């Protein structure tokens, strides 16, 4: 039996570093030299067909990267501060992202992941999808905090 599942995933920008991050995602003193402004991530309520396919997708999310001062190049990173998406035990790794038009999907992780590297002002277009499992996902609203950081070079 397919159960309805409401997914409300919220994106929150925090400019906090992660000590175990890859060097490219190191947010040392340069992090304040790049402004990052994400849009919220919103998913529709999954349908029976979404459960059959195994995922529900968000619309495109725009991350605006604006180097300040003499910083031209940047590295954009993504991590989650949450192990799961709320009190239902759904792992945050069931949330996946991709740079629009770039192919494969990457599960969200607690560790920083390089999303993209670029130069100058840029709008980075991302898509998110939430994996669905009819046999283990409890009906309800889910959320996760995602942290985008950018380091200017």
pLDDT tens by residue, 77-95:
999 989 988 878 899 999 9
Q: Is residue 93 part of a domain?
A: yes
CATH of the domain at 98: 2.60.40.1090
Give the global pTM. 0.78
- Which residue carries 């949450």 as its tokens? 82
Q: Is residue 1 part of a domain?
A: no
Q: Is residue 145 part of a domain?
A: yes
Alpha carbon distances (Å) from 41 to 14, 27, 70, 89:
15, 23, 31, 20
Six-digit token string for 108: 């969200």
Q: Is residue 3 part of a domain?
A: no
Which has the higher per-residue pLDDT, 5 or 103?
A: 103
Q: Which domain holds residue 125?
A: 23-152
Q: Is residue 131 part of a domain?
A: yes
Six-digit token string for 9: 């995933």
Per-residue confidence (pLDDT) for residue 99, from 0 to 100: 95
Confidence of residue 29 (pLDDT cuts 50, 70, 90): low
Q: Is residue 9 part of a domain?
A: no
Alpha carbon distances (Å) from 11 to 30, 47, 58, 97, 126:
23, 22, 12, 12, 12
Number of domains in the chain: 1
Q: Is residue 120 part of a domain?
A: yes
Alpha carbon distances (Å) from 34 to 62, 65, 100:
16, 7, 22
The full DSSP string for 50-101 is HHHHTEEE---EEEEEEE-TT--EEEEEEEES-SBSSTT--BGGGEEEEETT
CA distance 126 to 115: 9
What percent of the chain is modeled with pLDDT above 70?
A: 75
CA distance 82 to 58: 19
Q: Is residue 94 part of a domain?
A: yes
- What radius of gyration, in Å, describes the C-alpha atoms of the chain? 16
């Amino acid at each position: 039996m397919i159960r309805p599942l409401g997914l409300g995933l919220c994106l929150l920008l925090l400019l906090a570093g992660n000590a175990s991050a890859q060097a490219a995602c190191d947010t040392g003193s340069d992090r304040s030299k790049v402004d990052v402004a994400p849009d919220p991530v919103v998913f529709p309520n999954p349908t029976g067909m979404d459960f059959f396919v195994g995922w529900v997708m968000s619309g495109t999310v725009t991350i605006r990267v604006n180097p300040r001062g003499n910083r031209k190049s940047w590295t954009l990173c993504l991590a989650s501060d949450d192990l799961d998406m709320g009190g239902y035990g759904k792992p945050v790794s069931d949330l996946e992202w991709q740079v629009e038009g770039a192919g494969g999907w990457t599960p969200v992780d607690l560790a920083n992941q390089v999303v993209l590297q670029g130069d100058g002002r840029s709008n980075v277009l991302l898509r998110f999808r939430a994996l669905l499992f009819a046999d283990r996902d409890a009906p309800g609203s889910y959320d996760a905090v995602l942290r985008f950081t950018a380091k200017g070079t």
